[in-house]
Amino acid sequence: MMTNSSAMNVGDILAAVGLTAKERSSFLTGLGARGGLLGASWVKLPGIYKLLLGGTGTVAIDVRDMNGTIILAGQSFDAAGPRSEYPYFGDQAYEIRATCTGTATAEIV
């Protein structure tokens, strides 16, 4: 799960060792990043998904296409939960990242 308390997340570490965005996404997906959204790391969206929110605060979602173009920026969800959302990010949605405030958490399942 993602929280705002981490100074450096897995995606940052992978970037620091020189992995490209596509390599980082592939690695995180292999780790099961289909679950928790980790910091500002981009995570590949599965074909069918739901967004699980927990804690208190807000979750801002960014979505980009296969070319790396951000197609949705800052869609905000109130994380008062636990609760599920079934957002549609568009046909071109390929990767997602989340920024959380407070004790909010976000997970893709």
Domain boundaries, the chain: 10-108
Q: What tokens were used for 50?
A: 């739901």
- Number of C-beta neighbours around residue 8 at 10 A: 10
Q: Give the separation between CA 14 and CA 93, rounded to whole angstroms.
A: 23
Q: Give the separation between CA 56 and CA 34, rounded to whole angstroms.
A: 22
Q: Give the separation between CA 34 and CA 107, rounded to whole angstroms.
A: 8
Question: Rounded to two decimals, what is the model's pTM?
Answer: 0.64
Q: What tokens were used for 42?
A: 């981009």
DSSP-derived 3-state class of residue 49: coil
Give Cβ neighbours of residue 78 (< 8 Å, ≥ 6 apart): 53, 58
Per-residue pLDDT of the chain (109 residues; tens, 9 = 90+): 444 444 445 566 767 777 676 666 556 555 444 456 756 688 888 888 888 888 888 889 999 999 999 999 989 999 887 888 899 999 999 999 988 888 888 888 8
